[in-house]
Amino acid sequence: MTRPLLTDRTAVITGAAQGIGYAIAELFVAEGARVVIGDLDAGLAAVAAEKLGGPGVAIGVGCDVSKSADVDGMLAAAVDTFGTLDVVVNNAGITRDATMRTMTEDQFDQVIAVHLKGTWNGVRKAAAIMREAKSGAIVNLSSISGKVGMAGQTNYSAAKAGIVGMTKAAAKEMAHHGVRVNAIQPGLIRTAMTEAMPQKVWEEKVAGIPMQRVGDPSEIASVALFLASDLSSYMTGTVLEVTGGRFM
């Protein structure tokens, strides 16, 4: 039998109370990791941690990733509880879709704060801890919207494209410290974020997917596992598209 891929490693996953983040946490636990569920919703984070096995395996921590002190607290909880910090997945996200004509400045700022600043907080705070251990893997959730740009998402597309540049810059800074930084660009994945979409828009989007179906959160989780584990030991600064072929 092969050894699980994340045995004895500690992984922090932001925005993991539900959706893609929860699927990542679930798979990481199945692969032997201890996980910290960081989420804006502390109550849901605690419930998710309990579902994953509770104390000894998973803890939930309330954290707003756009606040650097919260990110410090979440990472400290990982080290204090489990002893190491081996993997950080910067997954927390929101949408505030609107055309430029109607988007408010606040809607723009909120999306930039959570995705761009939140990921920057996660990357640099994790990197500061991991460089001491001379090992670690950071996985950032970008989006295919950051590759092609989506109408109604000037805020989100800008933030998700920014995460690509940030991932590459951080990968260059951290490579010689033994810390890898990579990103994933999911296409259309079935979660609360996308199920809010009107049925007509949903159908139009699915029609443009070569594989002719939406993705499941578990199909992002398996790629996150690859980037978090030694299976990708010679990869850093990469961006993997997980889209069923959409916008290839």
Which residues have a Cβ under 8 Å from the Cβ of 201 and sit 6 or more positions away?
Answer: none
Query: In angstroms, rounded to a whole number, what is the distance separating the alpha carbons of residues 56 and 81?
Result: 8
Q: What residue type is assigned to position 167 of the chain? A: T
Nearer of residues 131 and 168 to ligand NAD, judged by Cβ = 168
To ligand NAD, the closest distance from the beta carbon of 26 in angstroms equals: 12
Residue 18 lies near ligand NAD (rule: CB under 6 A): yes
Residue 63 lies near ligand NAD (rule: CB under 6 A): yes
Query: In angstroms, rounded to a whole number, what is the distance separating the alpha carbons of residues 71 and 206?
Result: 36
The single residue listed with the structure tokens 């930039």 is 112
Question: Which of these is catalytic: 22, 28, 108, 156?
Answer: 156
Binding-residue pattern over the window 170 to 189 for ligand NAD, x denoting contact by CB under 6 A: ----------------x-xx
Helix or strand or coil: residue 164? Answer: helix
Binding-residue pattern over the window 69 to 108 for ligand NAD, x denoting contact by CB under 6 A: ----------------------xxxx--------------
The closest of 242, 227, 147 to 188, measured between CA atoms, is: 242
The single residue listed with the structure tokens 């990469």 is 238
Query: In angstroms, rounded to a whole number, what is the distance separating the alpha carbons of residues 106 and 118?
Result: 16
Tokens linked to 98:
């609107």
Residue 66 lies near ligand NAD (rule: CB under 6 A): yes
Nearer of residues 35 and 114 to ligand NAD, judged by Cβ = 114
To ligand NAD, the closest distance from the beta carbon of 141 in angstroms equals: 4
Residue 244 lies near ligand NAD (rule: CB under 6 A): no
Chosen residue from 30, 57, 79, 193 binding ligand NAD by CB under 6 A: 193
Chosen residue from 155, 157, 167, 191 binding ligand NAD by CB under 6 A: 191
DSSP string of 53-79?
A: T-TTTEEEEE--TTSHHHHHHHHHHHH
List the interface residues with ligand NAD, window 23-62 (CB under 6 A): 39-41
Distance of CA 201 to the CA centre of its chain: 25
The closest of 16, 23, 165, 27 to 78, measured between CA atoms, is: 16
Nearer of residues 85 and 223 to ligand NAD, judged by Cβ = 223
List the interface residues with ligand NAD, window 98-157 (CB under 6 A): 114, 118, 141, 143
In the residue annotation, 156 being an active-site residue is answered as yes
The single residue listed with the structure tokens 């959730």 is 141
Residue 167 lies near ligand NAD (rule: CB under 6 A): no
Site residues, ligand NAD (CB under 6 A): 14-15, 17-21, 39-41, 63-66, 91-94, 114, 118, 141, 143, 186, 188-189, 191-194
List active site positions. Answer: 156
